[in-house]
Structure 1
Amino acid sequence: MRGATPVGSDFGHQLRHLRTRAGLSQEALAHAAEVSVRALADMERGRTRGPQRRTVQALAEALGLEGDEAACLEKSAALGRPRPRTPDGPVAPATLALPRDIGDFTARAPALARLLELAHDAERGRPTVTVVTGQPGLGKTAFAVHAAHHLAPHFPDGQFALDLRGMDPEPTPPRDALSRLLGAMGIADAAMPADTDDRAGLWRSLVSDRRVLLLLDNAADEAQVRPLLPAAGPSLTLVTSRNSLAGLESVHRSDLALLRREEAVELLTRILGPERVQAEAQAARDLADLCGHLPLAVRIAGQRLLSRPHERLSKLATRLAAEGRRLDGLQVGNLRVRAAFALSYRQLAPESKTFLRRAALASGADFSPETGALLAGLSYDEAFACAEELTDAGLLQSDANAERYSFHDLLRLYAAELTETEDGPGDRDAALDRIARWMLRRATAAALHFEADPVLAAPHRDPDPDTAPVGRDEARAWLEAERAQWLAALRRAHTSGRHREVLDTAEAMHWFSDVTQHWEQWVEVFACAAESARSLGSRREEAVHLNYLAWSYNLCVHDPDAALTAADAALTAARECGDGLQEGWALGYGAGALHRLGRTEEAHGRLRKSAQCLAAQESPQARLAELTILNTLGTLLRQTGRPAEALDIHRRSERICREGIPGRPDELIALYHAVARQQIGNDLAALERWHEAEPPLRQALADFEAAQMPAWVEQARLDLGRALAATGHPEARQTLLAARDALTALKSPRQVEAAAALAALDQVTTAG
C-alpha cells in the first residue's frame, strides 16, 4: 500500500518522498523522466522550486502517479514558479513562448548532440551561448526551435523565444527587446528602467539563478545581442543569424551545413510519405540535387508536391532542371527561395551588391578576389572586403585553404538574375571583356614559364607584375586554380574575333600542356587556336595548332579517329606552306592515331617517313621532334613483336639526349631522356631481361615525379609494377595497385592493363 503524500509540503520534499516511496534512485527517476540527474537533485534540494508543467508531468508519469497525487504534485510546483511583483501588485507576464516545432524535422543529429552537451554545462551554473549561423535557407530557425523544444526539460524555469527581426529595415533595438524579456518575467512597464543598460542589468539579475532557455532568433549584429545575454547562472541562449556575429566573445558556434543527399531525400520522405518517394526513388534523388540540398528548397519542393497528391516527382524534377525556371519552381504559398535570398541582398552595401551580381559571371566552381575585382570594377582590396562581407552574410562560401570563394548553386542563379535585372548588357559585356583580356595576358605569361625555347620564354608582359606568379610552381598553381577563368576568356576572345590573342595564348600553353596531359580541355584550346589561325589566313600556324589538336585527341581524350582527321589536315597545311618541321609532326601524330586504330603497318610507314623528314633538318626543334618520333617508332616495333629492334631505336634516342641539343635547357632534355629510359626498360622486359629492366623504369618514374607529370608518372609506375611482378618483387602488388587507382582517376585507357596485371599477380599469389 502506498504511503500518504505529504500534502502541503514544498515541491522538493514532496518529490523526494514520492521517489523514495517508489523505490527509485535519483539516476533511475531522471532516466525515466528524461531529465538530468543534476536537475532532479536541484528540485529535491529546493534550488528549483517551480519546474515547468511538462517537466512535472514527465516526473508524475515516471513515478506512476494518477489523479489527485499527480494534481497535488503539479500544485506544489505551481506555487514555486516565479511571480514577480511590482508596487502596483501582480502582473500577468507577457508571453514569449517557443514557436511550434516542426514534426518532420530531419537530420542535424551531431549539432543537436552538441547542444545537449552545452545544456549540461549550463546545469553546472555556467551561462552558455551558442550562435547558429549559415547561408539563407539552411533552416537555422527551424533547427533552433527544434533544439529548444528538445532541451526544454533541462530548463524548468522558463523558455523564451524572441524574434530580433535582423533582416527588417529597422531591427528590434536592444532596449525594446529587453522590455519584452522583462515583461515575460512579469515586470510591469511602470517598473522598467528607462536606460538600456539598466534594463540589461535587471534582466541579468532576474535570470542569474534560474535555469532559463533563451532563443534569440534572426539577430542583426553583435551590438543587438550583447545586452540580452545572461552574465551568470545556469542558462542557455541560442542565437540565430544570417551574419556570422564573429565579434561575439566566449560563444559556441553551430555552423549548419547543407544536407547530405540522403538527408535531403529523407526530408522529402517525411513530408510526402515513404510510398510516394520510394515509387520514384531516382526522381527524389534528382530533386534533392536540383535543390542543392538546401533545406528550404527541399521543403518547398516537398510542400508543393504534398499539395498536389497526384503530381509525379519526376514532373517537378524536369521543371527544376531548367536553370532559368528553377527559382520560379521553388516557391509554394509564402515559402520562396528567391525571397529568402532577397532579404539578405537588401542588407548589403552598394559595392557588395555589385560584387555579388558580377561574381555570378565568373566561370568555374569558385573564383578569386582578383576575378571578383575585375568583374565588379573594384580594386583588389575593395573586392576582398566585399567577399568577406558576403561570406559573413552567408551569401558566399570561403575556401578553407585558399583565398577563393564559391556560390551555392541556387544563390548563383539568384545573383545571375540580379545581373540581368540590375546591370545593363553594356555593363555585363564590359565586365566580361575586362576579365577576358586580363586573364589571357596573365595565362600567357604564366604558361611561358614552361617554354623550352629560351627566346620564346622571355618574360611576357603580365597585367599586374606585382602579383604575377614567380617560377614554375607558382605559375602552375595559378594556371590550375584559374583554369575555368582563362579557358572562358579564350573562348570569349575566339567568338569575339580576337584571333591573335587566342593564338598567342594557345602557343604559350604548348609546353605546359605536356605536363598536364590529363586535362581534357586541351582539345578546346587547340581547336580554337586552329580556327583562329584559319581566320587569319596563316597556314603555318594552322598546321602547328592542328598538330597540337591531334596530340590532344590522341593523348588527352583518347579519340584516335578525331586525331587522325586533325593530323591529316595538319599534314596538308604543312606541305602547302613548305614547313618540314610541322610535316614531320603531322606524320608522327597521324601514325599514333593509326596505331591506336589497329592499322599498324600504316602507322609504321608514317613513322619512318616522319623520322626521315625530321632527320633532314638541323633546327633544335627538329631534334626534339625526332626524339619523340624515334621513341614512338621503337614502341611500335616492340608492340609488334620486334623488341630487339625497338631497343636499338631507343638506345639511339638515349644517345641524342646524352649529347644534348644546343639552345635547349637540361631539364627539358632530361624529360626526353626519361621517356627513352622508360621505353628501354619496357624493351628489356619484352626480352624477358626483367632484372635489367627495373633500374631504367625506376629512374624514369622518379624523373616524371620530379617534373610533376601525373599522366606520365602513372604509366611509368604501371610498367615498373609489371617488371617487378615478373621477378616476384615484394613491391609489385602495391605498385600495380597504386597505378591502377591513379590511371582510373585520370581516365586513362591503360587502367585496363593495370587491372589485368594486378589480377594476374593476385592469381599467381593465390596459387602459390
Structure 2
Amino acid sequence: MDKPPEYQQGAWRFRLLGRFSVGVGGEAVSIRSRLHQALLAGLLAHPNQVVPADDLIDTIWQRRPKNASNSLHVLVKRLRAALGDPDRVRAEPGGYRIVVAEHELDLLEFTALLERAKQATDPLTERDLLAEALSLWGDGPTPPPLREEDRGRLEELRLGALSRRIALDLETGREAEAISELRRLTQRHPLREGLWAQLMRALHQSGSQAEALAVYAEARAVLADELGVEPGAELRELHAAALAADGAPAWEPVCQLPARTDDFVGREDTVARLERLLEPADTARVVVVWGQPGVGKSTLAVQAAHRLRESYPDGQWFAALHDRQAGRTSAHELLEQLLLASGLPAGQIPAQTGARSAALRARLADRRVLLVLDDAGQAAQVAPALPGTGGCAVLVTSRRSLLDLPGAQRLRIEPLRRDSGVQLLSRMIGAERVEAERAHAEELVRLCGALPLALRIAGARLSLRPEAPLSALAQRLCDERTRLDELAVEGMEVRASLSLTYQGLSPLAQKALRCTVLLPRTGFSPCALGAVTDGSDGERLVEALTANALLEPRGVDDTGAARYRTHDLVALYARDLATDDDLEPGLRGLLDLLLARGEEVYREASRWTEELPPYQAPGAMPARLDLPPLRSPEAWARSERDLLLAAIDQACAAGWHADAARLADLVIPALHLSGGFDQLAAARQRIAEAARAAGDELVAWRADYGRAEASLAEDVSESERTFVACAEAFDRLGAATELVYSLTGVAFCRLMRNEPDLETAERAVRIAATGEDRIAYCTASRTLAQTLQQHGRIREAVWILKKTTQEAAKLHVRSLTAGLYRELARAALLLGDIDAAASACLDAAPLLSGNPHDEAWLLQLRSRVETAQGRYADAATTARRSHGIFTELGDRRAAASSLIWLADALWHSGDHTEAVTLARQARDALAAMGSTILAPEAERILARASQSA
C-alpha cells in the first residue's frame, strides 16, 4: 500500500516483532502507559485492518471495565495524542484501524519478505530472504501487550520461517551451523517433532550417528511423557537410518553381576519382594534398596539380581558407584560404563553427559536389561542412567532413601534377626563351634547390633583363630569405648562405613547425630532431638537422619508421637564424635524442655497424688518455652520415662543437681503409676550423691526421702531407716513440710511392721497443723487414723477420717480423698458395718481413674468387702486382679498383701489347699520385705488349716 501524502514529512517506525517500540524521524516516541501499549500492539498485529472493539477491550483489560466502549474511546483519543497524529488511528464501524505503510511496520516487512522467499527460484536466494526476515525479530519474543491468540499466530509465522531456513541450511551443506541452533530450539519447543527431525538429520549428515540415536531416544521420551504418543514416521525413518549408519556391533547380552555369597542368610522374604517389584513391565522398574551402613544392601541386591537373570535376557549390568580410593563415580562416568556394557565402541560415546544419557536410552529401548547400581550417593548420580522405555529394570542400593529419584519404589533394609545372625556366624566359622558356645554366639550378635558387616568382621577374626573361644571376643566387644575399634579387620571397618554416610550430611544434621548421645537408645521423639540440637521441633532433623538411615523408626508412643532410635553401633559412633560444645548446650536445651513439660505433668499428677511438693532452687525461674499443651501429660511422662531418667542422671553428672531434683519431683509421681520403683529409687540416689558433692544438704535429704518412698515396694525396713534419718535432718535444717512427710513415712513403715507408733504419727499431725501445706496435714492425719485403728481406737480413727475427708475434698486431690475413703471402709469392716464399707468403696472408685496403683489398692479392699458379704468367688476374682496390677507395676509388697486376701477368699470358698499355699507364700514374702502387719491374717488361715488337719 502506498504511503498517504500526509505522512511524507516524517519517517515513522513501528516495531512489533522481538522488541516493541515506536519512533519518528529517528527519535523514540514515549508511550509509557501499559493500556496505550496494549491498544497500539493490538492494532499493529492487524495492520490496515479493522480490529473489533471487543477484541481490543479483551487485549487491553484482564477484567472488562464498566462502560467498556466509552473507556476504549477515551483510550484511543489519548493514544492519538501520544502519537501526535490524530489520523493514524481511525474509527471504523464496529472497531478501529491503524494506517501504516510496509516500511513503517516490521510485521509488514516480515510478511513481504516471506512472500518474496516463496517466489525465489533458487535455494540460496530463498535462504537469504528468510534470514533477512528472521533478523527483524532480534533475540526477544513477541511483546506481552498482545493477546495470546495474536502472539501464537505471529510465533507460528516465525517458527515456520525458521524451520524452512534450517531445512535450506541442511540442503546447502550448513548442518554444522544448524546443530547448535536446533539443540536450543528442541529444548525451547520440545513437542515440535519437526525440529527433532531436523536435529537428527543434521547429526546424521555430520556423521554423528550415536548422537542422532540419542536425540531420537530423548524425543521419544518427551513425546511419550507429554503427549502419550510414539514418534511419527519421519522420526522413525531417521532413527532407522541412523541405526543403519551407526556401525555399532550387534547386541550381545552381558552379565556383569558379582558372584553370590554362600553365607547369605535371613533375607528370603525381602528377596522375594524384590523379585515381585522388579518383574518386567510396560514402564521401567526402579527400586531403591537402602539402609544404614553395613546392613547388607549390596549382598542382597546381588542375590536378587541373580535370581532375576532369566527375566532380563538382554543383560544384567553392574556398576559400583563408590570406591574407597577413587571416591564417587560421577553420572558422566557411569554413563560411559553402561554404554560400553551395551556394546557401543568407546570412540562413539558422546562427549556431553546429556547426549550420553540419551544414547543409553536409545541403546536400551525395547531391550530387557537389569541394571544394578551399587552404593549411590545421590539421585543425580543415577537419574541420567534410568531407561526411558519399559522392559528394563534398575536396582539401586544406597545409604540414603533417594527420595528425589523419580518413579522409584523404596525398600529399607533392617539388621538381621538374632537367629539369622547366629546362622551367619555358623556359616563363617562352623556350626559345631557356634553350637558349643551358643549363648556367647547370641551375645556376639547382640553386641554387633545384628549388623551383617559387623558380624562378618567378627566372623573373620574368629576364623583366623580357630582355637579362640567366642566368649573372648564377646568380652572384648562388651566395652563400648573400644567396640568400634574391635570391629575392624583389613578391608572391613564399621567406623569407616559410618564415616562415609556422616560426611554426606549437612552440618546441622551432623550436629543432630552427635547430640543423639544425650538421648536414650530405647527411643525418643523428634521434639527431644530438636531440643538437644537447635531448639527446633526436630521434624526436619529426624527426616534428614532417617533419610540417611541413621535413625530407625520405632512406631508411635501412647501420645501418638512418632519415635526413633539410633542403632547401637551408630550411637557409639556418635559418642566418639560428640564434644563438650555439643553436649553442654544440648543438655541445657533438653532440661529446659523437660522441666517445662514436667510442670504440665505435675499439674496433672497433683490431682491424684500427695507427694512432697517439687523443689525450687532459691531465685530460680521456671523454663518458659512456647510449646503446645500436652493432650495427656501422664501418657507423655510414661512414653518419655527413659528420657526423663537419663536426663536426671546426665544433669547430676554435669553438676546441675538442682535441675535434676526439680525434674524428678515434677515427673516421678507420674512415673510411679507405671512401676519400676528400683529405677526411681536409683534416680533419687544419684541426685542425693550429686547434691552432697555440691554441699546442698536440703536437696540431698529430699532425694533420700524420695528414694525411701520408692523403696517401700521392696524393703519396708530400709525405707523406715531412711525416713528416720530424713526426719532428723529436716528437723535440724528447719524444713517443716519435709519433716511432716518424713515423720509420716516413719509412722507408716512402723505400721507396716505391725509396730504402730502413735507418738510419731501425732507429732507429724501437730507440725502439719501449724503449716500451710494442707495436703501434708491430710496425709499425716490419714496415717494417724491408720495407727489408731491398729491400737483398737477405731471410732476415734473414723472421726479423724471423716473430718479429714471433708478437708481433702476441698483440695481436689483425688488420690488423697480416695485413700481416706478406703481407710473409712477398713474401719467399717473392723466395726462389722459391711454396708458402710461397701459404700465407702463406691465413693472411692470414681476418684481413681487413670491411677492403676490406687485402683489396685481399692480392688484389694473390695475383695475384703466381698468376702465379708459371702461373695467368695467374686472376692477371689477381685483379689487376683489386684495382685496382677501390683505385679505388673513391680510393687512386690502390695502384690503379696493382695495374696493374703485372695487366700482368705479361697479359704471361705472351700479351696483350702491353694489358700494355705498362698497365705504361706505371702507371709514369707512380706516378712522378707520387713512388712508384718498382715502376718496375723496369714497365720489365722494357716491355723485353720492345722485345726482342720
**2:303 is matched with which residue?**
146
Q: What CA distance in whole angstroms lies between the structure 1 residues aligned with 2:751 and 2:452?
A: 53
Q: What do the CA deviations read for 1:457-506 (whole angstroms, capped 9, x no partner)?
A: 99995434312x637x5554555555555555544554565565555555
Q: What CA distance in whole angstroms lies between the structure 1 residues aligned with 2:646 and 2:897?
A: 36
Q: What CA distance in whole angstroms lies between the structure 2 residues aligned with 1:200 and 1:733?
A: 78
Matched, 1:747 2:890: yes
**2:762 is matched with which residue?**
611
Contact 2:453 2:494 in 1 (8 A): yes
The amino acid that maps onto 2:571 is R
Q: What CA distance in whole angstroms lies between the structure 1 residues aligned with 2:878 and 2:382?
A: 58
* SS state at 2:405 partner: coil
Q: What CA distance in whole angstroms lies between the structure 1 residues aligned with 2:321 and 2:697?
A: 70
Q: Kindly report which structure 2 residues correspond to 1:407-486, keeping only aligned pairs within 5 A, or say none.
A: 407-419=566-578, 423=579, 427=581, 430-431=584-585, 434-435=588-589, 438=592, 441-442=595-596, 445-446=599-600, 449=603, 450=605, 461-467=621-627, 470=629, 473=631, 475-476=633-634, 479-480=637-638, 483-484=641-642
* SS state at 1:324 partner: coil
**2:712 is matched with which residue?**
554
Matched, 1:665 2:811: yes
Contact 1:297 1:330 in 2 (8 A): yes
**1:316 is matched with which residue?**
473
Comparing 144-153 with 93-102, which one deviates more in the overlay?
Answer: 93-102
Contact 1:690 1:727 in 2 (8 A): no
> Which of the residues 254, 276, 281 maps onto 1:117?
276
Matched, 1:302 2:459: yes
Comparing 136-145 with 487-496, which one deviates more in the overlay?
Answer: 487-496
Comparing 518-527 with 450-459, which one deviates more in the overlay?
Answer: 450-459
Q: What CA distance in whole angstroms lies between the structure 2 residues aligned with 1:337 and 1:88?
A: 48
> Which of the residues 568, 577, 581 maps onto 2:724?
568
The amino acid that maps onto 2:547 is D
CA displacement at 1:108 relative to structure 2: 1.6
Q: Kindly report which structure 2 residues correspond to 1:14-413, keeping only aligned pairs within 5 A, or say none.
A: 87-88=246-247, 90=249, 95=254, 97-119=256-278, 121-122=279-280, 125-165=282-322, 171-363=328-520, 365-369=522-526, 371-373=528-530, 375-376=532-533, 378-380=534-536, 384-401=539-556, 402=561, 404-413=563-572
Identity between Structure 1 and Structure 2 (%): 29
Contact 1:212 1:235 in 2 (8 A): yes
Q: What CA distance in whole angstroms lies between the structure 2 residues aligned with 1:409 and 1:106?
A: 22
Contact 1:447 1:475 in 2 (8 A): yes
Matched, 1:704 2:848: yes
Contact 1:148 1:215 in 2 (8 A): yes
CA displacement at 1:298 relative to structure 2: 1.6
CA displacement at 1:577 relative to structure 2: 5.0
Contact 2:785 2:800 in 1 (8 A): no
CA displacement at 1:212 relative to structure 2: 3.1
CA displacement at 1:218 relative to structure 2: 1.1
In structure 1, stretches of 5+ residues that fail to align are 1-83
Contact 2:295 2:413 in 1 (8 A): yes
**1:62 is matched with which residue?**
none
Q: What CA distance in whole angstroms lies between the structure 2 residues aligned with 1:612 and 1:369?
A: 49
CA displacement at 1:135 relative to structure 2: 0.9
The amino acid that maps onto 1:665 is L
Shift of the 544–89 alpha-carbon distance from structure 1 to 2, 3 Å rule, reads closer
* SS state at 1:240 partner: strand
Matched, 1:653 2:801: yes
Q: What do the CA deviations read for 1:440-471 (whole angstroms, capped 9, x no partner)?
A: 7536644553558999999995434312x637
The amino acid that maps onto 2:804 is I
Q: What CA distance in whole angstroms lies between the structure 2 residues aligned with 1:135 and 1:435?
A: 28
**2:133 is matched with which residue?**
none
Q: What CA distance in whole angstroms lies between the structure 2 residues aligned with 1:733 and 1:134?
A: 53
CA displacement at 1:372 relative to structure 2: 4.3
Q: What CA distance in whole angstroms lies between the structure 2 residues aligned with 1:102 and 1:655?
A: 79
Contact 1:441 1:461 in 2 (8 A): no
* SS state at 2:395 partner: strand
Q: What CA distance in whole angstroms lies between the structure 1 residues aligned with 2:506 and 2:324?
A: 14
Q: What CA distance in whole angstroms lies between the structure 1 residues aligned with 2:395 and 2:250?
A: 27
Shift of the 525–118 alpha-carbon distance from structure 1 to 2, 3 Å rule, reads closer
**1:61 is matched with which residue?**
none
Q: What do the CA deviations read for 1:44-87 (whole angstroms, capped 9, x no partner)?
A: xxxxxxxxxxxxxxxxxxxxxxxxxxxxxxxxxxxxxxxx9974
**1:32 is matched with which residue?**
none
CA displacement at 1:211 relative to structure 2: 3.7
Shift of the 434–455 alpha-carbon distance from structure 1 to 2, 3 Å rule, reads closer
Q: What do the CA deviations read for 1:78-122 (whole angstroms, capped 9, x no partner)?
A: xxxxxx997446369695511111111111222122223335x52
The amino acid that maps onto 2:569 is L
Shift of the 762–355 alpha-carbon distance from structure 1 to 2, 3 Å rule, reads same
* SS state at 2:482 partner: helix
Shift of the 647–366 alpha-carbon distance from structure 1 to 2, 3 Å rule, reads farther
**2:161 is matched with which residue?**
none
* SS state at 1:130 partner: strand
The amino acid that maps onto 1:341 is L
The amino acid that maps onto 2:747 is A
**1:523 is matched with which residue?**
681
CA displacement at 1:399 relative to structure 2: 4.6
Q: What do the CA deviations read for 1:428-450 (whole angstroms, capped 9, x no partner)?
A: 56436644763575366445535
Q: What CA distance in whole angstroms lies between the structure 2 residues aligned with 1:261 and 1:392?
A: 25
Shift of the 348–634 alpha-carbon distance from structure 1 to 2, 3 Å rule, reads same
Q: What do the CA deviations read for 1:575-629 (whole angstroms, capped 9, x no partner)?
A: 4356665444333312333455xx412xx02x45313541465346565334334
User: Relative contact order: is structure 1 or structure 2 higher (C-alpha 8 Å, sep ≥ 6)?
Assistant: 1
CA displacement at 1:282 relative to structure 2: 0.7
* SS state at 2:574 partner: helix
Q: What CA distance in whole angstroms lies between the structure 2 residues aligned with 1:232 and 1:647?
A: 92
* SS state at 2:769 partner: coil
* SS state at 1:380 partner: coil
CA displacement at 1:313 relative to structure 2: 0.6
* SS state at 1:466 partner: coil
* SS state at 2:328 partner: coil
Contact 1:167 1:218 in 2 (8 A): no
Q: What CA distance in whole angstroms lies between the structure 1 residues aligned with 2:269 and 2:563?
A: 28
The amino acid that maps onto 2:847 is D
Q: Which has the larger radius of gyration?
A: 2
Contact 1:91 1:187 in 2 (8 A): no
Contact 2:296 2:452 in 1 (8 A): yes
Comparing 199-208 with 106-115, which one deviates more in the overlay?
Answer: 199-208
Shift of the 396–692 alpha-carbon distance from structure 1 to 2, 3 Å rule, reads same
CA displacement at 1:731 relative to structure 2: 7.3
Shift of the 753–96 alpha-carbon distance from structure 1 to 2, 3 Å rule, reads farther
Comparing 142-151 with 739-748, which one deviates more in the overlay?
Answer: 739-748
CA displacement at 1:646 relative to structure 2: 5.5
The amino acid that maps onto 2:629 is V
Q: What CA distance in whole angstroms lies between the structure 2 residues aligned with 1:89 and 1:578?
A: 97
Contact 2:673 2:889 in 1 (8 A): no
Equivalences, count: 658
The amino acid that maps onto 2:395 is L
Shift of the 330–578 alpha-carbon distance from structure 1 to 2, 3 Å rule, reads closer
After TM superposition, the score normalised by the length of structure 2 is 0.61
Contact 1:86 1:188 in 2 (8 A): no
Shift of the 611–118 alpha-carbon distance from structure 1 to 2, 3 Å rule, reads same
Q: What CA distance in whole angstroms lies between the structure 1 residues aligned with 2:455 and 2:705?
A: 49
Contact 2:723 2:746 in 1 (8 A): yes
